[in-house]
Structure formats: C-alpha cells, structure tokens
Amino acid sequence: MRIVIAEDSVLLRDGLTRMLTDGGFEVVEAVPDAGQLLRAVAEHRPALAVIDVRMPPTHTDEGIKAALVIRRQFPEVALLVLSQYVEESYATDLLSEATSSVGYLLKDRVAHVRDFLDAVRRVAGGGTALDPEVVAQLLVRRRDDPMERLTPREQQVLKLMAEGKSNAGIMSALKVSPSAVEKYVTNIFLKLDLPAASTDHRRVLAVLKYLGS
C-alpha cells in the first residue's frame, strides 16, 4: 500500500517512514510542508496520506487545510491526520468534510506501533480512526441532542464505533459478551431514529449523527 507522509520534523519524518516500511507499507514520498504534500499526492495518488497538523509556514493548522483540499480533489486518498494536541475545532473541520477513510490521532499514538499500524490499515480500508480524546471532546459537545437519550454504556459503545472498532473490538474493549454488544448497538440505532438498513450502513449513520455536521 502506497503512502505519502507530510511532517516537518526530520526526526519524525524518518521515524514514521521506517515504521510504516517495517509494517509492510510503501512510503512513496515524505515531505516537510503542505505545499509539497499536495504536489506529492497529485503525483503519486497514494492510498493514504499521513499528515501533521502543524507545518510551515504558519505552524498552525496547515495540515487540516491540506487534508480538506486533498479530500475535495482526490476523494479516493485516505487521510490520517496527526497532531500534538487534539483540538475539537480541528476535528470538526476535518470531519465536516470527511467521515470515511479518515483518521485524527494524537501524535503520541505512534509510540504504540501495533495500534498505530492498525489505525493506518483501518483508515486506508475506508474506516475511521479517531483518537479517544477527540471522541471525548465531540461527545461533550453533543450533550444536548439525541445523544443524551443514550445511556453512558451506549455512549461508550458509540464512542468505540466512532473510533472505528468492530463489534468484536468493542467486545474486547468493554469486556462484555457478543450479545450485549449487539443489544447496545441495536439500542443506539433505535434511540438515534436510524432507518432499518444494512448494519454497516447504520453504523456509519450512527457515527455520522454522533459527529454531527
């Protein structure tokens, strides 16, 4: 799988390249700023772009802006945004345009190699990988809406769904039985007034509703 990396720190650029290469990915180019990222994506059409939020020249949110441009121009490129800080307002910007094949993780998560590589695969495969911190922030934001109808446990399950976890993943994360997870998921669909459709589609809708727009 072909990947483009945009990260202004040489140290991390090399580290990420090494880790992703070791993990079986092909890093076609690693660039230090948003301008070169857009050029590299147009040139290589990678399956996924790993993007640092804070890059030259302004060192603010270039990464988010570049990610949104890529999503508009090359919707088939999956986006994994990394940031030293998780900010709800960055996440909202990103997720308002992209709700699939998108990830937003704290940079710290690269320390947990296996989890990080899982997240890369999940995002590249069309899923989402939202940092638990992002999810927590979004959850607080949406306290006044239908989400309030959910029990804390159901909110937890929805949170894990938003992070991109499957039923099996939720099961192991919460240490509950498969039938319990099924029940929670069904309740969530019911409480959020989601139309009967294939479970996968409803999952996406639930997460979408959860993220709001």
Partner 1 sequence: MTWRAIKNALAGLLAGLAGGILLGVLVAVWGAAILSLVQGPGGWQHGAIYVTVSVLVFVLVPWVVQGLAMLQRSRIRATLGTEIPAPARTSGPASWLVGPWLAAATWRQLGYHVLAVVTGIGGAVLAVLFPVWPWLARQMTRTDERLARALLGPGSREALALRVESLARSRADLVDAADAERRRIERDLHDGAQQRLVSLAMNLGMTRERFEGESEPVRQAIAAAHDEAVLALTELRQFIRGLHPAVLSDRGLVAALSGLAARAPLPVRLQVDVPRPASAAVEAVAYFIVSEALANVAKHAQATQAEVAVTRTGHTLRIAVTDDGRGGAAFGRSDGVDGTGLRGLAQRAAAVDGTLKIDSPRGGPTVITAELPCES
Q: Which long-range contacts (CB under 8 A, 24 or more apart) does 203-208 make?
A: 203/161, 204/99, 204/100, 206/158, 206/161, 207/99, 207/128, 207/158, 207/161, 207/162, 208/99
Tokens describing residue 128: 């989402």
Closest approach of Cβ 179 to partner 1, in Å?
30
Give the one residue of 26, 60, 126, 190 binding partner 1; rule: CB under 8 A.
60
The rounded Cα 139 to chain-centroid distance in angstroms is: 15
* 205 lies in the binding site for partner 1 (CB under 8 A): no
* 85 lies in the binding site for partner 1 (CB under 8 A): yes
> Quick one: 90 or 104, whose CB is closer to partner 1?
90
Residue type for 8, please?
D
> Quick one: 28 or 136, whose CB is closer to partner 1?
136
* 145 lies in the binding site for partner 1 (CB under 8 A): no
Closest approach of Cβ 48 to partner 1, in Å?
18
Contacts with partner 1, 19-48, as mask; x by CB under 8 A: x--x--------------------------
Strand partners, 24: none
Closest approach of Cβ 144 to partner 1, in Å?
8
* 175 lies in the binding site for partner 1 (CB under 8 A): no
- What is d(CA 100, CA 164) in angstroms, rounded to the nearest whole number? 10
Closest approach of Cβ 152 to partner 1, in Å?
11
Select from 84, 85, 83, 79 the least CA-distant residue to 103.
79
In order of 51, 61, 95, 100, 136, the CA distances from 125 in angstroms are 17, 26, 17, 9, 24
Binding-site ranges for partner 1 (CB under 8 A): 9, 11-12, 15-16, 18-19, 22, 54, 59-61, 84-90, 106-108, 110-114, 133, 136-141, 143
